[in-house]
Chains A and B, each alone.
Chain A
Amino acid sequence: ETGVTQTPRHLVMGMTNKKSLKCEQHLGHNAMYWYKQSAKKPLELMFVYNFKEQTENNSVPSRFSPECPNSSHLFLHLHTLQPEDSALYLCASSRDRNSPLHFGNGTRLTVT
């Protein structure tokens, strides 16, 4: 148990669908992150929230839309995705920017 819970674990969606990924942490952390993990590539940081404010957006396409309603919850809204968006999407949290990250087990996304 990592303290960071991601749902769903697996998601298959068509290119015209709209879906959302959910992340929840009960560690009292102030920073939350979305990462994309593709085979044979470095982990790609997508978004960072610090105290519910988005502090980083690494040139992510607008078909990915994050939402952080409070410091315990983070969403990633998906719409009109492409097959190359298929990957493992990892949520993480940390006490602050210099503390170790605590990761969830990820959502395996397949876009058909």
Chain B
Amino acid sequence: AQSVAQPEDQVNVAEGNPLTVKCTYSVSGNPYLFWYVQYPNRGLQFLLKYITGDNLVKGSYGFEAEFNKSQTSFHLKKPSALVSDSALYFCAVRDDNTDKLIFGTGTRLQVFP
């Protein structure tokens, strides 16, 4: 069955430190993977995607994510966190067999000054 898991409800990090937000997935076919961010009182905004090609994907606002097929993971990373990165982050996966897009439960990132 298709699924996506974000094991952490919240991630806390100090400004200037690297951050990682975890995501693992399960699909029957090839995965299309996405990260979205949601700021308070706003809709979700697209950050980056992996369809095929290089395992390291670069996206908006200095974020990147690494596709790891053997670990079925697509963790979101940033080398140096900003207070303004504090938001809710969603991982999503589309299974090219089912064509369904499924979102994770979200991880709240809190960056402290």
Decide yes or no whether A101 CB sits under 8 A from chain B.
Answer: yes
A42 B43 Cβ-Cβ under 8 A: no
> 8 Å CB contacts to A: which residues of B10-50?
32, 34, 36, 41-46, 49
> 8 Å CB contacts to B: which residues of A60-111?
90, 92, 97-98, 100-106
A106 to B41, CA, bound (A): 8
Q: A40-B105, A45-B101 are in contact. Are A92 and B43 (CB under 8 A)?
A: yes
A72 to B101, CA, bound (A): 21
A92 to B44, CA, bound (A): 9
Decide yes or no whether B102 CB sits under 8 A from chain A.
Answer: yes
Q: A43-B90, A43-B103 are in contact. Are A98 and B51 (CB under 8 A)?
A: yes
B94 A98 Cβ-Cβ under 8 A: yes
Q: Which of A100, A102, A104 contacts B34 (CB 8 A)?
A: A100
Chain A nearest CB, measured from B92 CB (Å):
8
A106 B104 Cβ-Cβ under 8 A: no
Contacts of B103 in A (CB 8 A): 42-43
Chain B, interface size category, equals: 20 to 34
A40 to B104, CA, bound (A): 10
> 8 Å CB contacts to B: which residues of A10-51?
40-43, 45
Decide yes or no whether B99 CB sits under 8 A from chain A.
Answer: yes
A103 B45 Cβ-Cβ under 8 A: yes
As a 0/1 sequence over residues 81 to 102 of chain B, the CB contacts with chain A under 8 angstroms (1 = contact) are 0000000001000100001111
B-binding residues in A (CB < 8 A)? 2, 4, 6, 40-43, 45, 90, 92, 97-98, 100-106
A sample of 26 inter-chain contacts (CB < 8 A) reads A4-B43, A40-B105, A42-B102, A42-B103, A42-B104, A42-B105, A42-B106, A43-B44, A43-B90, A43-B103, A45-B100, A45-B101, A90-B43, A92-B43, A92-B44, A97-B94, A98-B32, A98-B94, A101-B46, A101-B101, A102-B46, A103-B36, A103-B43, A104-B43, A105-B43, A106-B42
